[in-house]
Structure 1
Amino acid sequence: MTVYTASPLRHPDLGAPALMTRRAWWLVVLNFLIPGSTQVLAGNRRLGRLGLAATLTLWLIAALVIVAYSLWRTATLSIITNSFALTAAQLLLVLYAVLWLVLTLDTLRLVRLIRAQPGSRFWIAAFTVILLVLSVGTATAGAYYAGVARGTLNSIFGGGAASVPPVDGRYNILLLGGDAGPDREGLRPDSLSVVSIDADTGRVTMIGLPRDMRRVPFSAGSPMGELYPNGFRNCDVSACKLNAVYTEAELRHQDLYPNAKSTGSTPGIEATKEAAEGITGLTIQYYALIDMQGFSDLIDALGGVDINVKERLPIGGNERLVGVDEWIEPGVQTLNGYYAQWYARSRHSTSDFDRMERQRELQTAILQQFTPANVLTKFQAIAQAGTQVVKTDVPQDMLGYFTNLAMKSKEQPITSVELTPANSIDQDDPDFEAIRALIRADLDPPIPTETPTD
């Protein structure tokens, strides 16, 4: 006589409530830990094999990403920030969400709640729903954020500029704070900096350029350099200052930069890059334009920015401090977007050079607060703010490289070189050779030599 041994999972004793309760708990947990295993053991094996194959594939992809990130971090970041990769991840996560929903609902059918002990039925069902929300909800949220990331990256890094290698081991990016208004003819950069990044170590130096600097030279062989071979003087706009270069190129000399738009730039930005190169002696590969009007949105998305306010600053008012709306008081504070914007832009009671230093201080504080935890917990708000705040010609295929470089930068202090009277710089009659020497001394400090001992 042949004896058949029934599987307690596939062929349970329906008349044993305690056994059916234990079986239910096992099936629910297995479905969460190894989706598809429940169906292989107790249900439709074809569906179970599909679920197991999908689960193992997901584990394999995750393992490969972890290994690749450990061994080839830059290449991995480049791939996962690519639009096609983000689209594929979004579709994949949607498919997993649907599959896990089907498997969980099928598991709830297989546990046969009516056969479990009465006191356990509610808890089994509730636990199943909680695990369903965790698995399907996580996959759905991942798909949503992949879509948000793709849209954000395409919006910010959608220019047509080409990838270029570092020059003298550095990437130099022109950082512009746009200050447009109804009383101005076009946009004039309110804040100008060059962010110089060591291509190997990630060490960052921020070079503050006075917006009112006169006689600025342009890089050799550039369109504006040929137009103004003796520096920016006798110009076509009211004041021949550094921040007016943008306006003149936009309004008078667009023909000098016929390819600017196709590379994600503008004539004004290209001309200002040439001026920044002439002042600093550095090659400027890319730019980033920050809309100061939308700047507060990014600060609010980050949850504010921590600043040590060193002196009382007026909000509004005129040069005589008449009509001041309120004051930013001294002390360590977490400034929201509105107050952070005024901290950077307040122009009365202090000099333009003080203002430059505050802007650099604010930029440094924001960079330091872009931590993975901060970005992940506030991802959507930061992404939405970013599309309104930042415009750049950094190509998207360089994003992985710069992300890796930024991670290195966070491990080091950010230094600054301010072209102000504190460093013996006269913005009305600047000595550009001295300026370039000052910058070189920071970027390439002399290596101390050891004094031989007797």
Structure 2
Amino acid sequence: MKQFGLGRSVALTLASAVLWGVAHLVVGLRRTGLALMGAYAIVLATVITAVFGFGDRLLPLAVQPGWLTAMTIGLAVVAVTWSAVIIWSFILVRPTSPTPVGQMLTIGLAASLCALIIAPSAYAARLAYLSHDVVTTLFSPSPSAPVLAEDPWNGAKRVNILLVGADAAPNRPGVRTDSMTVASVDTATGAATLFGLPRNLENVPLPPGPARERFPSGFSGEGEYTPNLLNEVFQYAEDYPEMVPGVAKGKRGPTLLKSTVSGILGIPVEYYAMVDMKGFAEIIDAMGGVRVTIKEPITYGRYNEGYLAAGTRKLSGQEALWYGRSRTNSDDYVRMGRQKCLLNAVAKQADPITVLNSFEKLAGAAKRAIATDVPQSLLPALIDLSMKVKGTQIKSLQFVPPLISTVYPDWTLIKQRVRVALADKPATKTATTRQTSSMHGTSPDKPVSLDSTCG
């Protein structure tokens, strides 16, 4: 049996950690050494091919529970195998007659190498586990229709998702959907247009069936505690099951609101995603804040509790919450414009590095803050689509005064503007539809592009 000095033992242990089988070849275990080298080459080639050959195409795997489970197990197997190879190599080439210092040095080296392998693998496995937990918690495992791999959108040219900002207050039971935006995305190009609906649209037409039978002239509410506003429809459906018969509690509100908004805009709204406003602040804090440019100073709070000065700055979650909610010295429509800018800023700044660094906090905040009916099986397609959206200019059209009266809305005009916006053809300007873009940031004739420069 070969004898090894301290220096050679350390060198061979290090070499075996970098390339499996080196120590085995040196001690004469040729077949074992070559087999370990072959296994190492396969692992390395697989990783290199996956990262450099597929790149962004790996992202959809990160939202599939089966792949996430396999990834967790695979990482654990690789970490254990690699550590075993290091320990085995160390045993084969450890110093023949080590001094106490030499023995401690070589044992410490082997242990450190194992830790260097296990620590990142354990971290990656935890990320995979957290991803699995978020996906299975937030997204339904059963789609309403089969999702085809070759065409997940079933031939649809656009997918329309209702984005809802919900605000609950201690002195007001239930949930009010104070921010409602439909994101209409071209499934081929990723071109996206946001349609903003004010919370105080009155007497909105409800979809055919029990809801319209109850309110044939539009949603009129139930008096002072449930006024006839669009933001009351969600909670009303939850409180009155007969409005959406056969739909479970917790799903009645989204179902009726999607159908109502679909009727208003004249486009099918397939899915919704609702964010609790306080939870949204948690998400921004987990990201480390969000940077926006504020054109005009903003005072917030009923009693002027805070102040956001004009200029480019990074907002904390609480500041961003007030930035998106404040109506002090302004109105609902100015607030709607800020909310769109804030959403866009968050989307643009949530880069992979930011998400990875704050993944655990983001995962916890997302589970507490988000509700959606997007099925798990559609997530890979949505990830692919989001990558396309990121490379385009997001446009926005808000149906606010003077384009649309919230008291007497022109439902026909709203549908017309949606058709024009999605066709991307300018409409003819009229005196009744002209809007002051400097006040509300939106043209009635064509959507405006969004950036993170907000008033």
TM-score (normalised: structure 1):
0.83
Q: Distance in 2 between matches of 1:234 and 1:148?
A: 42
Q: Does residue 232 of structure 1 match 2:214? A: no
Structure 2: tracts of 5 or more residues without a match: 148-152, 427-455
Q: Does residue 441 of structure 1 match 2:428? A: no
Counterpart among 152, 159, 165 of residue 171 in structure 1: 159
Deviation at 1:253, TM superposition (A): 3.2
Q: Name the structure 2 match of 1:389.
A: 369
Q: Does residue 266 of structure 1 match 2:251? A: yes
Counterpart among 176, 181, 186 of residue 169 in structure 2: 181
The 1:295/1:50 distance shift into structure 2, 3 A limit, reads farther
Q: Name the structure 1 match of 2:85.
A: 103
SS at 1:189's partner residue?
Answer: strand
For 1:335-382, what per-residue CA distance to the aligned partner results, in whole angstroms no more than 9, with x for missing partners?
Answer: 011111111111221101011111111111111112111112222111
Counterpart among 371, 393, 404 of residue 425 in structure 1: 404
Counterpart among 134, 157, 170 of residue 152 in structure 1: 134
Q: Does residue 410 of structure 1 match 2:397? A: no
Q: Distance in 1 between matches of 2:217 and 2:49?
A: 57
Aligned positions of 1:287-366 closer than 5 A: 287-317=272-302, 323-366=303-346
Q: Distance in 1 between matches of 2:399 and 2:357?
A: 38
Partner amino acid for 1:82? Q
Q: Distance in 1 between matches of 2:421 and 2:105?
A: 65
For 1:277-313, what per-residue CA distance to the aligned partner results, in whole angstroms no more than 9, with x for missing partners?
Answer: 1111110110001011211110011110011122222
Deviation at 1:435, TM superposition (A): 1.3
The 1:192/1:136 distance shift into structure 2, 3 A limit, reads same
Q: Distance in 2 between matches of 1:384 and 1:44?
A: 49
Is the Cα contact below 8 Å between 2:62 and 2:131 reproduced in 1?
A: no
Counting matched residue pairs gives 420
Q: Distance in 2 between matches of 1:222 and 1:167?
A: 28
Aligned positions of 1:18-57 closer than 5 A: 21-22=7-8, 24-25=10-11, 27-42=12-27, 51-52=36-37, 54-57=39-42
Partner amino acid for 1:224? A
Partner amino acid for 2:372? T
Q: Distance in 2 between matches of 1:418 and 1:386?
A: 27
Counterpart among 353, 356, 359 of residue 379 in structure 1: 359
Q: Percent identity?
A: 31
Q: Which stretch shows the higher mean deviation, 85-94 or 251-260?
A: 251-260
Structure 1: tracts of 5 or more residues without a match: 1-10, 318-322, 448-454
Alignment RMSD (CA, Å): 3.1
SS at 1:427's partner residue?
Answer: coil
Counterpart among 238, 247, 265 of residue 250 in structure 1: 238
The 1:30/1:268 distance shift into structure 2, 3 A limit, reads same
Partner amino acid for 1:440? R
Is the Cα contact below 8 Å between 1:260 and 1:270 reproduced in 2?
A: no
Counterpart among 133, 138, 141 of residue 120 in structure 2: 138
SS at 2:230's partner residue?
Answer: coil
SS at 2:404's partner residue?
Answer: coil
The 1:260/1:67 distance shift into structure 2, 3 A limit, reads farther
Deviation at 1:179, TM superposition (A): 0.9
Is the Cα contact below 8 Å between 1:178 and 1:292 reproduced in 2?
A: yes
SS at 1:324's partner residue?
Answer: coil
For 1:232-264, what per-residue CA distance to the aligned partner results, in whole angstroms no more than 9, with x for missing partners?
Answer: 236576311100111211112356242345xxx
Q: Name the structure 2 match of 1:216.
A: 204
Counterpart among 49, 71, 84 of residue 66 in structure 2: 84
Q: Distance in 2 between matches of 1:178 and 1:48?
A: 61
SS at 1:211's partner residue?
Answer: coil
The 1:50/1:376 distance shift into structure 2, 3 A limit, reads farther
The 1:47/1:153 distance shift into structure 2, 3 A limit, reads farther
The 1:47/1:333 distance shift into structure 2, 3 A limit, reads same
The 1:42/1:396 distance shift into structure 2, 3 A limit, reads farther
The 1:159/1:272 distance shift into structure 2, 3 A limit, reads farther
Partner amino acid for 1:434? L
SS at 2:201's partner residue?
Answer: coil
Q: Distance in 1 between matches of 2:281 and 2:361?
A: 12
Q: Name the structure 1 match of 2:191.
A: 203
